[in-house]
Structure 1
């Protein structure tokens, strides 16, 4: 009986250790970061340039420029169930991605993208207020329970079921050299994304610290005042 009790206690201890470590390096609500496409190395990007066709909304592209401040996005909770800052994001959660510079949400809808004729991706809304087209499901590529910072994920558009995708087609002026971002119906390497440099909001159960990357001054002021921060 004593051995059984010890075994049970040890199993519970291991379970809680796994829970702690699985959430420790997870993405958290309120974190601000860049997303890098695993096929091309381009960063998810937006700017105050409208599409000349389709919806006419703000364009979203992929850029090879690692230093562009227009590539920062903040992860927020679902419009139906917002999350508290610092909350680890579980796999299959529905989130919104807020473009820090222009204050619009990553968005998709049933318009054709201008180059590949896939589904258009845009930035939409005002001050983060948008609609159902801003909802994205975090599809993990590992067996963990959380979206881990070290692992690539797919972002599946909730309304249409398609994946955030870099088509490989390149724009001319006025955004010459940038790649088309669209939504695509099938999972492949072009719709795998991984977090890069940014400000990571630590879960409130972790020790207090504050370290930043070299581009932190360009981040949103709300992220700068949060107590739990770490370099991605």
Structure 2
């Protein structure tokens, strides 16, 4: 059978387009540096959250809570790289990487230290720094079972300075953050320490602008 040049060109273009779509679809499976997303605790179904409300005890720093509200704009976090100076924006976060989670609204970093949390007496989790500049207490190790942080799988965040794991105590606050859950650091890596990427804007290396894949 003889195939015309025009039909051959159409076939090749269609094949390339399908290949590009396949690569793009594969890329969207991963959490990448520069992305802005919400992070969901799989045990309590709450999203990691912060706001301009300070703890009344402990460090007195900006508080961290867990909220059930999917639409709350104060649950957005930017993924920042600390592992390699040569990383590219949009590069997948590797398991074992050291990252910072910067709160989008207040520009402070997810932080921990040896203060007691206000409700359960576990390790306090707070927000610290200015415009992403903080200290070593802002550094977290991504623990997962694959080579990279897959959006469909859960991960753990281990605090570099204290070895504590980011967790939810299950206790809730009263005013002014009524009903929001206490976020803590724990030594037991199996105690409500599983987190998944939820809604967000995910950046990929071949794209200069942010590419939106889910509702913010």
TM-score norm. by structure 1 comes to 0.78
> CA-to-partner distance for each residue in 1:8-28, whole Å, 9 max, x for gaps?
xxxxxxxxxxxx997652111
Measure the CA separation in 2 of the matches of 1:162 and 1:82.
28
Of residues 129-138 and 180-189 in structure 1, the stretch that sits farther from structure 2 once superposed is: 180-189
Question: Over alpha carbons, which structure has the higher Rg?
Answer: 2
Return closer, same or farther for 1:104/1:75 CA change in 2, 3 Å cut-off: same
Measure the CA separation in 2 of the matches of 1:97 and 1:24.
20
Match of 2:105 in 1: 101
Match of 1:170 in 2: 172
Match of 2:12 in 1: none
Return closer, same or farther for 1:195/1:92 CA change in 2, 3 Å cut-off: same
Measure the CA separation in 1 of the matches of 2:87 and 2:112.
22
Displacement, 1:79? 7.7
> CA-to-partner distance for each residue in 1:96-116, whole Å, 9 max, x for gaps?
000000110000001000011
Contact 2:201–2:210, Cα closer than 8 Å, also in 1: no
> CA-to-partner distance for each residue in 1:107-155, whole Å, 9 max, x for gaps?
0001000011110000000011000000000000x3x210111110000
Measure the CA separation in 1 of the matches of 2:25 and 2:69.
33
Secondary structure at the counterpart of residue 192 of structure 2: helix
Measure the CA separation in 2 of the matches of 1:121 and 1:80.
25
Unaligned runs of 5+ in 2: 1-23
Match of 2:189 in 1: 187
Return closer, same or farther for 1:227/1:68 CA change in 2, 3 Å cut-off: same
1:40-119 correspondence runs (5 A): 40-78=44-82, 81=85, 83-119=87-123
Of residues 55-64 and 182-191 in structure 1, the stretch that sits farther from structure 2 once superposed is: 182-191
Match of 1:199 in 2: 201
Match of 1:221 in 2: none
RMSD: 2.0
TM-score norm. by structure 2 comes to 0.84
Contact 2:83–2:97, Cα closer than 8 Å, also in 1: no
The size of the alignment, in residue pairs, is: 192
Of residues 97-106 and 20-29 in structure 1, the stretch that sits farther from structure 2 once superposed is: 20-29
Return closer, same or farther for 1:182/1:119 CA change in 2, 3 Å cut-off: same
